[in-house]
Amino acid sequence: VEMAGIIDQGRDDVIWLLETGFLYLEMGDKEAARETFEGLTALEPETASFQAALGQVLIAEGNVKEATKVLGRAVELDPELAFARCLHGDALVRGKQADRGKGELAKACELEPDGPAGLTAKTILAGIEDGSYPPPPGQELPDSLPTGPTD
């Protein structure tokens, strides 16, 4: 998982926890991932990438309402974090707020046009247009979204 630029160098313990949370998520252990990210957000509630990571797990668990709240906080903390914008857009679309969600997805595309978050946002927008998105409750993001922010 590419972590450059997200966390200050020399914070190996925090980086290790963040990476561990994403590994749990990749392995399908949503509970362990959520607990890890909840711990990180408790330690550093002002870190947008931690809020976004927690929001990603909440989406995967089907808790769209809470995910929307947490991801909105991530966007407030760092409006330039494409990963958070993409996830917030996804949560809004799943929560039947398609217009707001499309706006967040478009912003993710603008911030990271050729990066993972931007490409995922484009995939979601295309799915909205062709009627194949949003997926059933609890289904995770398209496979193209990496686990974790990259900017």
- pLDDT tens readout for residues 105-133: 999 999 999 999 999 999 999 999 998 88
Proportion of the chain above pLDDT 70, given as a percent = 83
Decide if 7 contacts 43 (C-beta within 8 A): no
Give the pLDDT band of residue 141 (cuts 50, 70, 90). Answer: low
Task: Count other Cβ atoms within 10 Å, centred on residue 126.
Answer: 11
Among the listed residues 38, 43, 35, the one whose alpha carbon sits nearest the alpha carbon of residue 14: 43
Section 56-77 average pLDDT: 96
Give the pLDDT band of residue 15 (cuts 50, 70, 90). Answer: confident
pLDDT at 49: 94
* Residue 112, CA atoms < 13 Å, CB-side half-sphere: 23
Whole-angstrom CA distances from 113 to 39, 52, 53, 122, 123 are 31, 19, 21, 9, 12
pLDDT at 48: 96
- pLDDT tens readout for residues 21-39: 999 999 999 999 999 999 9
Instruction: Report helix, strand or coil for 140.
Output: coil
- Transcribe 72-123 into DSSP letters: HHHHHH-TT-HHHHHHHHHHHHHTT-HHHHHHHHHHHHHHSTTSHHHHHHHH
Q: Which residues contact 103 (CB under 8 A, 6 or more apart)?
A: 89
